[in-house]
Structure 1
Amino acid sequence: MATTTAPRTTADLLLEWDRRRPRSQQSAFGMSELGECRRRAGYRLAGIAPTNIGGSLQAVMGTGIHDAAASALRDLQTEGLIPADALIEHEVSFAGILGHLDMYIDPELTDIKTTSARWLAKLKVQGPPTSHLWQTHGYAAALIAEGRKVSRIVIDYLARDTGEQWRWTGRFDPQHVRDALDWVTEVRSTPLDELARDHHPDSAWCQHCPFRDLCWEGAVADRDPRSVLFVEDPDAAEWARKLEDARDRKKAAEADEKTAKGALDALRPNSVGVELVAVPGYDKALKYTVSFPERLDGEQVRKDYAAAGRPVPVKKSDKGEVKVELVEADALAARPTP
């Protein structure tokens, strides 16, 4: 009798392939998690079993790119075009933390990172995040502990959606290794239920985390997963103060941004297109983009529909929107009686 199976999409097959890889089944804390979410690191270090499958299509695409690059490097090595003692997809360990570096050719360590074009634009301005620096320096520390020399670290970034590349280079800095190990020590010494959740539950990091359900367990039913924070610390007044303070800081920051942007408009050389302007005494340039995008004229649309005697078509959201305002307590007494 033939076995009937549900149809599997390409996405399903890619995620299934990723789940079956030995690297995906690794349960120990790894260098790629350094400097990321402290709560997730705590679960890993404590040996807690995952509650979710984890993984994402973006990660699968990144894995495919890594595998293709590694295959090409091995071919070049076989052909004698890169040194025979070069390390490709090499497993290392430092301070009990496992890692897999992409390439090492004495004295340079290279790591491949895939990202989106939007994130790549931020990287070009801000440089690699702490987590990437700690990860690559962890690889370097492991190699140095093996007696190898690492004087330069390279992170090759590639945008999956556009193919754009950007390369960051820097010298090995032992302080990154010390900072990373201090971070691990702090995570180890902190009780699991006191470790910070360093990402929002609707972020890609949380959505694909193997501990997502466990991490946000205890939230109020049918409410935002972050309601678990109130369950853990039911101080309504303090949370209300945090909300008010955050909005005040946001308002002040937006005003400061508008003022600085207006002042720097004095340096803008263009009336259309894109121009870069150097800033003496500052380590970043200014990028001026002037465009004239077309936007839907909602008021005119309403007028046109009204003239035709038809209601403007709207679509009701499947998920209710929650608006939270801070009002004077006296408003409670003044509100209408139901």
Structure 2
Amino acid sequence: MTAVLPARPTTAERRAAPSLAAAVRDLDRRRARSRQRMIGASELGECRRRAAYRVARRRPTNTRTGLQAFLGTELHRGVLRALRRQYGGLTEVALRGEQVKGRCDWWHAPVVEDLKTTSRFGFERVLTRGVPTKHWFQVAVYAWLLRTGQTADRRLEAGTAQDVDGLRVRYLSRDSGEDVVFEAEHDPTLTAEAIVWLSDVYATVEDEGVDAVPRDGFGPGVDTMCDWCPFLDACWGPPVDPETEGDVSRQSRLTVTDRDYVGAVHDYDAWRAAENEARRHKEYARERLRGRSGPADDLHCEWSGGVLREQVDKDAAVERLTELGEVVPTRRVRSPRTIRVTRDPTRPEQEARP
């Protein structure tokens, strides 16, 4: 019998650059949070169904990690290291209670701070809308765990209450390097709301099961909360197969009965009306603000843009190419699908309402 030796790698294969994406995925799988089964403080106030999967000890079905998220994590570590060296305090403080655990980014007594690295769009959203409740939940729970001595860090004596009376959330833009800090006093009410949220999830899972816990996201393609959820397929089912399911979405799988269909159509009609009304109010307020800027209580208004700039005149460019006898470059694109919901004229309006 002749031995068959494996083919030796070519010079090109030996010199090929290793895959950074593969290294990131492997590193993420090894991290404790990827294997975590207890609810983390960072998940409080986000999606109850995701928290329920943690409580039920379900295995994640979607473990992909984007390179951008990986870079954000490494930037996060570097910033914490700089804060600790410059101002002291403890970073990455391990905390653990009976139902929740987490790592406090920075405890610079008597203030607990959480650092969020975000994209330019996320940073702008925080500036316009403020701190989401889920982020206040996170630092409030960190403060509670420290104040009650529920620590799992060798640098702190377990069971010993720590001094905390302030909360901070710092947002850092990965694009510009700009940061903004929001502060608040320690509020037991905020902690209580977070604990109630968590307790409700535990109780529902125990009494009725995971599927009885409501979703707080609107599904893939609609809500980024779902797009990057580690339990996406478990919650919304596997990706749609166009060959067997046709032109549907994962959300459309929820529309099973005629009643489901009627409810979805009326939801679309109601939110379309609300969207149009909100746009009218926003534009009216915008016109009232023309020529004005500056602080307004807890908000600030400023105008930008309005400068002249050069841009390609597409119509003139096509006309000029035609005059020169040149072929106008084109490409095939799929037109967007549209939906049209109208009133049924054969039914009185009162009768049509569910």
The verdict on a shared fold, with TM-score over 0.5 as the criterion, is yes
> Aligned to 1:278, which of 295, 314, 320?
295
Q: Report the number of matched residues.
A: 313
Q: What is the identity, as a one-letter code, of the residue corresponding to 1:11?
A: A
Q: Which residue of 2 aligns with 1:273?
A: none
The worse-fitting range, judged by mean Cα deviation, of 224-233 and 158-167 is 224-233
Separation (CA, whole Å) in 2 of partners of 1:189 and 1:302 = 65
Asked if structure 2 preserves the Cα contact closer than 8 Å seen for 1:115 and 1:157, the reply is yes
Q: Which residue of 2 aligns with 1:325?
A: 340
CA deviation digits over 1:79-112, x for unaligned, max 9? xx766xx432111123520111112122121222
What SS does structure 2 have at the residue aligned with 1:303?
Answer: helix
Displacement of 1:218 in angstroms is 7.0
Q: Which residue of 2 aligns with 1:127?
A: 130
Q: Unpaired segments of 5 or more residues in structure 1?
A: 269-275, 332-338
> Aligned to 1:192, which of 210, 230, 237?
210
What SS does structure 2 have at the residue aligned with 1:290?
Answer: coil
What SS does structure 2 have at the residue aligned with 1:239?
Answer: helix
TM-score (norm 1): 0.81
Aligned pair 1:117/2:120, yes or no? Answer: yes
Q: What is the identity, as a one-letter code, of the residue corresponding to 1:247?
A: R
Q: Which residue of 1 aligns with 2:152?
A: none
Displacement of 1:14 in angstroms is 2.3
> Aligned to 1:201, which of 220, 242, 257?
220
Separation (CA, whole Å) in 2 of partners of 1:69 and 1:52 = 29
Asked if structure 1 preserves the Cα contact closer than 8 Å seen for 2:118 and 2:174, the reply is yes
Displacement of 1:22 in angstroms is 2.5
Separation (CA, whole Å) in 1 of partners of 2:226 and 2:21 = 19
Q: What is the identity, as a one-letter code, of the residue corresponding to 1:181?
A: I
Aligned pair 1:15/2:40, yes or no? Answer: no
Aligned pair 1:52/2:62, yes or no? Answer: yes
- Alignment of structure 1 residues 287-298 onto 2, 5 Å: 287-292=302-307, 293-298=309-314
What SS does structure 1 have at the residue aligned with 2:38?
Answer: coil
Q: What is the identity, as a one-letter code, of the residue corresponding to 1:226?
A: Q
Change beyond 3 A, Cα 1:262–1:118: same
Q: Root-mean-square deviation (CA), in Å?
A: 2.9
- Alignment of structure 1 residues 163-174 onto 2, 5 Å: 163-174=177-188
Q: Which residue of 2 aligns with 1:225?
A: 250
Displacement of 1:179 in angstroms is 1.0
TM-score (norm 2): 0.78
Separation (CA, whole Å) in 2 of partners of 1:233 and 1:2 = 60
Asked if structure 2 preserves the Cα contact closer than 8 Å seen for 1:54 and 1:209, the reply is no
Asked if structure 2 preserves the Cα contact closer than 8 Å seen for 1:38 and 1:198, the reply is no
Asked if structure 1 preserves the Cα contact closer than 8 Å seen for 2:24 and 2:65, the reply is no
Separation (CA, whole Å) in 2 of partners of 1:82 and 1:68 = 14
Displacement of 1:58 in angstroms is 2.9
Q: Which residue of 2 aligns with 1:336?
A: none
Displacement of 1:233 in angstroms is 8.0
Aligned pair 1:143/2:153, yes or no? Answer: no
CA deviation digits over 1:108-142, x for unaligned, max 9? 21222101122212222332111111011111000
Asked if structure 2 preserves the Cα contact closer than 8 Å seen for 1:52 and 1:209, the reply is yes
Q: Unpaired segments of 5 or more residues in structure 2?
A: 1-5, 150-160, 347-354
Separation (CA, whole Å) in 2 of partners of 1:308 and 1:250 = 47
> Aligned to 1:250, which of 272, 275, 278?
275
Percentage of pairs with the same residue: 30
Aligned pair 1:303/2:313, yes or no? Answer: no
Separation (CA, whole Å) in 1 of partners of 2:315 and 2:45 = 48
Q: Which residue of 2 aligns with 1:213?
A: 233
Displacement of 1:157 in angstroms is 1.5
Structure 1 runs (4+) greater than 4 angstroms displaced: 1-8, 70-74, 293-296, 308-312, 328-331
What SS does structure 2 have at the residue aligned with 1:243?
Answer: helix
Q: What is the identity, as a one-letter code, of the residue corresponding to 1:188?
A: Y
> Aligned to 1:103, which of 81, 102, 106?
106
Q: Which residue of 2 aligns with 1:91?
A: 94
Change beyond 3 A, Cα 1:316–1:183: farther
Separation (CA, whole Å) in 2 of partners of 1:3 and 1:186 = 59
Asked if structure 1 preserves the Cα contact closer than 8 Å seen for 2:167 and 2:185, the reply is yes
Q: What is the identity, as a one-letter code, of the residue corresponding to 1:87?
A: L
Asked if structure 1 preserves the Cα contact closer than 8 Å seen for 2:217 and 2:226, the reply is no
Change beyond 3 A, Cα 1:33–1:82: same
Separation (CA, whole Å) in 1 of partners of 2:312 and 2:219 = 32
The worse-fitting range, judged by mean Cα deviation, of 53-62 and 127-136 is 53-62
